[in-house]
Chain A
Amino acid sequence: MSAGTDARRTVESLLRRLVALSGVERLLISLAALVLAILVGAGIILTSGRVATCTQAAAVYFGLGFCYDPLEVYFVLFNGAFGQPFNPGIMAGNLVNPTWSPFTGPLTFTGPLLTTALFTAGWNPLNFSVALTLKETTLLIFTGLSVAVAFRAGLFNIGTQGQLVVGGLVTALVVGSLVPVLPGGLAGALLLVPVGVLSGAVAGGLYAAIPGALKAYADANEVITTIMLNFIAAQLAFVAVSEFFRNPESQVVETAPLPGYATLSSVVFPQGSDFSLFALAFALVLVGVIWFFLERTSYGYDLRTSGIQPEAAEYGGVDAKRTVVTSMMFSGALGGIGGAVWVLMVMGKWQTGVPALGFDGITVSILAGNNPLGTIPAALLFGTLKSGSLAVQFETGVPKQLVGVLRGLIILFVAMPEFFRAIGTNVVDLDADDSKAVATDGGVTGGDDE
């Protein structure tokens, strides 16, 4: 047997092992990847801590001083994302009381065993850092869902970003134009917010129908068209706002701000945190609905079979072209909702320079194995890293670019096994077992010989 086929066999059997993994195993792999990413990141922090110049060492390892302390960075990264539930004092060293012995006191965690309290006194879970983490999580659930739905239908929707931009803009304009004609206060909020979200969904869906139709009726690759439409969306929105819907009182290219009652206000969480529990609840409900829709309805079944085996789906009576368009629209509508929530919850207006939520959604979806339920933990990981990296920027001297590298490493390491698994499902046939294939082969040749 040649070396080429040998290598191919190895790759195939690796992929097969990946595909065949159980849920628990996948979780364990993700955790191991996280640990590995942290170790590699720590190496990078140490190295750059030697290259950088500073007057005082942040840490000393192996008798060498380093400008940045990896332990501190990762501690702040995860602790800071939740507003420091753990006492930063525990990083000062000598956590365990050296003079403690079983005879001096009872074995308690806050007692004399530890020199400092493990948890921060007076930590309130409803703080700004948690709000920031959850804000990012909420937005990424929408975009992650959007990409996941398209993936399940066998479509690569790279255009969630564009659909989000368009959806957000339409939401801002629709709500902005309805504000003068509708009553204010709670009644206005109950009308305006759902209308805003709905118009965002419709706009995003219609915008995604373009690449869907191009794919179905002109056989244009949706990866290319959706990427291109991202640019078109960003520029169109920019021109539309700067020429026609500009807030005249502002230097920035933005629409006029919406009144407070027309936006998603921060319940429970402190004012000005740009996060609303309603939005998170809505996102979670949407995850459930989409999961049910994909797994338990006949349209969802059609969508999934089109993704796995388009020919079989068509044979089974699915209108393939229509499914492509509708699933793109469905995906785009979710992206549009993401834009609507960004406008209504975070900005209170549409503003140029929309963050790359749609692109992050692709990674969230891969991380989630394209499973709607998986987007929740995947988005939470993203949110934690985002919020935590701001904390690192504030509390340590580590430059923000380096923090970006650490974030990227974690995402890369955690997403890669899932990514290869996603590839593997398309390449490898699970039922064709390695050993069986060899046996049948041998059997056939043996039969010929006889």
Chain B
Amino acid sequence: MDRRKFLKATGVAGIAGLAGCSGGPTESGSTATEESAESTSESTEAETTQESTASADSEVNVGMVYALGGLGDKSFNDAAKRGIERAESELNVSYNEGQPSAAEEFPTFQRRFAQSQNPDYDLVCCIGFAQKSALQETSKNFPDQKFMLVDEQIERDNVASYVFKEEQGSFLVGHLAGLLTNQQFEAGAGSTSGDSKKVGFVGGFEVPLIQKFQAGFTAGVEHADENIEVTSAFAGSFSDSAQGKEIATSMYEDGADIVYHAAGGTGLGVFQAAQEQGKFAIGVDSDQSQTDPNYADVILASMVKRVETAVYTSVENVAEDSYNGGELTTLGLEQDGVACVYGQELGSEIPEDVKSSVAESRQAIIDGDISVPTEPQ
């Protein structure tokens, strides 16, 4: 019968096709380690790579609970992941990870790691301020479990809190944007007109944390020139790149030369808009010209927030038995917790005098000569 032939043919073709696929497990052998190093270096493949599941033979087991944007945001969560990957390769650490898709899932994920016996997690890393209220409950219910929290503070002996001075780094990129929008500047796929005095800011949510970015950026722009107008908008999401693109496009069409985003995955849309409009953008959290090389020709700089440092340090502390539970660690410009990192492709084309005045204001902030506001005026 026809049907039977068809089924047979598709079956055979399917299996032959699968066999031809380039991926699949590298068969158990001596080349396994080489191959795995190779595959993780390619970011696209690394996403589909099977995660190293925490195992009993490692010294330290870490559970990672990511923020809502999820892995692949090329920004906040990916930075945290870099931290744990570094810990994995440098300290005898294995880890397991979870990506909640709604705020109500935070307690489930945190508890899941906290109550696990096999493996027994030595540290649970909670990435992002949104996990605070869930972690307050969880850390109370599991007093013997060590936690770490990024971007918020919980005063309990089993929680190590890490916060950043985002306003300081944002001030620097604001200063950079202000200096560049005032002059004729062309590099990569973008250019500034020189005559319009406008820059933009796109935030994820209008919450105090993101307002710190906004306040620092605005202050930095004003530091360069008081007459430059900063338009700000909030996308209402950390993972809606379409919305980000829409907002940024209208800003560029409105005359803005440079848009800075603090919106996680939403920011990818800002880069797309910059490319289409031939303007510039400034990345956040990671060096986005490196994490997202497709947009390196429009990313002037990134306000790097070294979430990886926080993650790595906390794991290192646990590994060395010097866990600092109950303490708040603040990472600013001085500790290199935040920084203005120039784009891989465009960085070399930014005029030296601009770079040196940004470096000057960096020193001034560290010395306390400039105080950066944390709330928008």
Q: Which residues of A contact B (CB under 8 A)?
A: 43, 46-58, 62, 64-68, 128, 132, 238, 242, 250-254, 257, 271-272, 274, 346-347, 351-353, 355, 390, 393-394, 397, 399-400
Contact = CB atoms under 8 A, between A and B. Distances in A.
22 contacts: A46-B18, A47-B18, A51-B21, A52-B50, A53-B45, A54-B24, A55-B35, A55-B50, A57-B28, A64-B18, A64-B24, A65-B24, A66-B24, A252-B103, A252-B129, A252-B130, A253-B207, A274-B107, A351-B103, A393-B98, A397-B51, A397-B53
A353 B68 contact: yes
B132 interface: yes
B326 to A, nearest CB: 19
B313 interface: no
B334 interface: no
A272 B111 contact: yes
A56 B103 contact: no
Given A347-B104, A399-B47, A399-B48, A67 B133 contact: no
A272 B137 contact: yes
A128 B35 CA distance: 39
A14 B193 CA distance: 65
A407 to B, nearest CB: 12
Contacts of A253: 205, 207
Chain B CB within 10 A, most for which of A50, A252, A274: A252
B99 A393 contact: yes
Contact of A394 (B32, B112, B132): B112
Contacts of B207: 251-253
A62 B16 CA distance: 11
Nearest to B137: A272
B274 to A, nearest CB: 27
Nearest to B131: A252
A251 B24 contact: no
Interface of B: prevailing SS: helix
Interface in B21-65: 21-28, 32-33, 35-36, 39, 45, 47-51, 53
Contacts of A49: 24
Contacts of A50: 18-19, 21, 23-24
A437 B33 CA distance: 72
Nearest to B129: A251
Nearest to A49: B24
B24 A67 contact: yes
A55 B130 contact: no
A351 B105 CA distance: 13
Contacts of B98: 390, 393-394
B254 interface: no
A68 B96 CA distance: 17
A55 B138 contact: no
B32 A238 contact: no
Interface in B189-225: 205-209
B358 to A, nearest CB: 29
Interface residues of B, number: 54
B1 to A, nearest CB: 20
Contact of B26 (A55, A252, A346, A351): A55
Contacts of A257: 133
Interface string B113-131: 0010000000000000110
Contacts of A274: 104, 107-108
B159 to A, nearest CB: 16
Contacts of B109: 390
A88 B68 CA distance: 30
Given A56-B25, A57-B25, A67-B25, 10 more contacts: A50-B18, A51-B24, A53-B23, A54-B49, A56-B50, A66-B24, A251-B130, A252-B132, A353-B103, A393-B99
Contact of B108 (A57, A132, A242, A355): A132
Nearest to B42: A53
Contacts of A56: 25, 28, 32, 50
A58 B50 contact: yes
A251 B209 contact: yes
Contacts of A55: 25-26, 32-33, 35-36, 50
Contacts of A46: 18
B206 A390 contact: no
Given A47-B18, A53-B48, A65 B103 contact: no
A260 B32 CA distance: 52
A250 B50 contact: no
A86 B39 CA distance: 35
Given A46-B18, A67-B50, A251-B130, A53 B24 contact: yes
A390 B103 CA distance: 14
Contacts of B101: 400
A51 B48 contact: yes
A62 B25 contact: no
B205 to A, nearest CB: 7
B152 interface: yes
Interface in B66-125: 68, 96, 98-99, 101-105, 107-109, 111-112, 115
B327 to A, nearest CB: 20
B99 A251 contact: no
A271 B48 contact: no
A347 B108 CA distance: 12
A400 B108 contact: no
A128 B141 CA distance: 14
Contact of A54 (B50, B133, B205): B50
B19 A64 contact: yes
B236 interface: yes
Given A58-B50, A238-B236, A272-B107, A251 B132 contact: yes
The 9 tightest CB contacts between A and B, nearest first, are A397-B50, A57-B25, A54-B50, A50-B21, A52-B48, A251-B129, A65-B25, A53-B39, A355-B102
A436 to B, nearest CB: 32
A58 to B, nearest CB: 7
A48 B22 CA distance: 11
B256 to A, nearest CB: 25
A48 B27 CA distance: 17
Given A64-B18, A399-B47, A52 B23 contact: yes
B99 A400 contact: yes
B354 to A, nearest CB: 33
B15 interface: yes
Nearest to A51: B23
Nearest to B46: A53
Given A54-B25, A252-B129, A353-B68, A390 B53 contact: no
B27 A65 contact: yes
